[in-house]
Amino acid sequence: MKIFVRLLTVAALLSVAVPVLAHDFSAVVPGGQTLYFNVVNGAAVVTYPADVTAPVTGWNGYQRPSGALTIPSTVSNGTATYNVVAIDRYAFYGCNALTSLTVSEGVTAIRGRAFYDCTAITDVILPSTLDSIGTYAFHNCSSLAEVTALSIAPPATYATVFDNIDLSTCTLHVSCQAVANYAAVEPWSQFGTIADAGCTATLAVSANDASRGSVSGGGTYSVGTSVVLTATPAAGCFFACWNDGDTLNPRVVTLNSDLQFKAFFFACIHDTVSGVGVQHDTVYVTTILRDTVFVTIHDTVTVHDGGQPTFCNLQVVSGDPALGIAAGSCIVPAGTVIEICALPFEGFSFSRWLDGSTDNPRRVQVSSDRTYTALFATGQSGASAAGALRWSAAASGLTITVSGAATRQVRILDMQGRLMAETAAASDRACFVMPQPGAYLVQVGSGPARKIIVTE
């Protein structure tokens, strides 16, 4: 009995000292490191050398890979050669002396926690064949600075793939045609720069009137470059805004694709009556087609000689877009009076503005950045319902024809509430040409708006 107990004790000690093998064979790869592999369905998977359930101590008795690591596309064991298709979970857990990683073509998966706590890795190259990366695969790789992804479609990932890494300081290198793909999904979109050294984009700049000012900053740059745009007005003129409504000047734009910007300049007119001020064109900005902006002269404002007008952003929004829309959003100099309106859809009615006013349309003086919210209610008044039946609208090509609206105001807006056309007192039959196909809203008087679909 004593001998039996003694043998059990020795066996128990040996089971603690020798880790449980988790690999089928080992091989020396380019770079001189020894890696460990399992054979799965006739292919090789890079794996952890010992018991994967104890990753912290599993390297005991094995040399951790260090330096620049390349995962090969094939590996041999005696006379057998295998394609390397995956890097298994925990495969390089805690290998904190690895400085770089290149994964060869043919590898399709990097599994969970494969490079967990590899704190010295600065750059990673991922193959075009890579389909997926498991959770926490690069957790706490805190020295990571650059990742090159050769696949056009981003590998399927989890939000935690790059956990505990400040990706805003990292660069993701992808091909030109892949930039938009990676910029659209997390965690890839969190990289501070997404670009390829050979990928360029063109920044085209112009002025609405070259005699009134010029724009600098245009040219061809590497994708991901931040460029300063500066609008410089000519003598006697002033800069109003960019074609997207932004009034910042200079402004910084980041190129992830070709972009176009137009600066709108307007002339200053001396007030010959008082002789003490300058009249500026007031800019009424309506963005209607992607980055195209229509600018019309809405009013004038007088400022002191040498001064520049202060522009304010007026936002007019719907409290419930399912019940109606609101119109009148614009960028205008401080002091401008603007008319805003609320358009309920059929079956609904305008209730009030959020500040309590029930005027509709409503004239407001813009003295600072301001938002007006229109509130709507279910149902509509009998007068509005009856009035709505007295007119009709139809589309033919790009033309909307409104009939039965004589003497009443007609407004046509897009589905974002931007004014397309307006007439104060329409004839019995009025025609309006829209800039492009799409859905539009027609309002006659203060009644509910009707949706009209315009096609080519």
> E-strand spans in 178-258?
193-195, 200-207, 213-216, 219-222, 226-233, 237-242, 251-254
% of the chain surpassing 90 pLDDT: 35
290 has a pLDDT exceeding 50: no
CA angle 105, 109, 113 (to 5 degrees): 125
Instruction: Tell me what pLDDT residue 208 has.
Output: 80
Residues ≥6 apart with Cβ < 8 Å to 266: 212, 237, 238, 240, 280, 281, 283
434 has a pLDDT exceeding 90: no
Instruction: Tell me what pLDDT residue 417 has.
Output: 67
Higher confidence at residue 443 or residue 269? 443
Instruction: Tell me what pLDDT residue 306 has.
Output: 44
Instruction: Tell me what pLDDT residue 333 has.
Output: 67
Higher confidence at residue 225 or residue 425? 225
Omega before 344 within 30 of 0, i.e. cis: no
Instruction: Tell me what pLDDT residue 141 has.
Output: 96
CA angle 128, 129, 130 (to 5 degrees): 95
Across 213-222, 259-268, 443-452, the highest mean pLDDT is recorded for 213-222
Instruction: Tell me what pLDDT residue 21 has.
Output: 53
Residue-averaged pLDDT of the chain: 79
| Residue 159 to residue 175: CA distance in whole angstroms | 22
Mean pLDDT for 202-222 is 89
| 87 burial via Cβ count (<10 Å: 0-12, 13-18, 19+) | buried
% of the chain surpassing 70 pLDDT: 79
In single-letter form, the type of residue at position 191 comes to: F
0.85 exceeded by pTM: no
Owner of token pair 């501070």: 192
Mean pLDDT for 129-157 is 94
Query: Where residue 256 falls among pLDDT bands split at 50, 70, 90?
Result: confident
Mean pLDDT for 393-402 is 85
Instruction: Tell me what pLDDT residue 57 has.
Output: 58
Tell me: the pLDDT tens digits for 228-253?
999 998 876 777 778 776 777 888 88
Across 9-18, 30-39, 340-349, the highest mean pLDDT is recorded for 30-39
Whether the Cβ atoms of residue 378 and residue 360 lie closer than 8 Å to each other = no
Tell me: the pLDDT tens digits for 336-356?
777 787 888 777 888 999 999
Whether the Cβ atoms of residue 394 and residue 401 lie closer than 8 Å to each other = yes
Higher confidence at residue 186 or residue 5? 186
Instruction: Tell me what pLDDT residue 38 has.
Output: 93
- What is the 3 state secondary structure string of 322-371? CCEEEECCEEEECCEEEEEEEEEECCEEEEEECCCCCCCCEEEEECCCEE
| Residue 95 to residue 438: CA distance in whole angstroms | 57
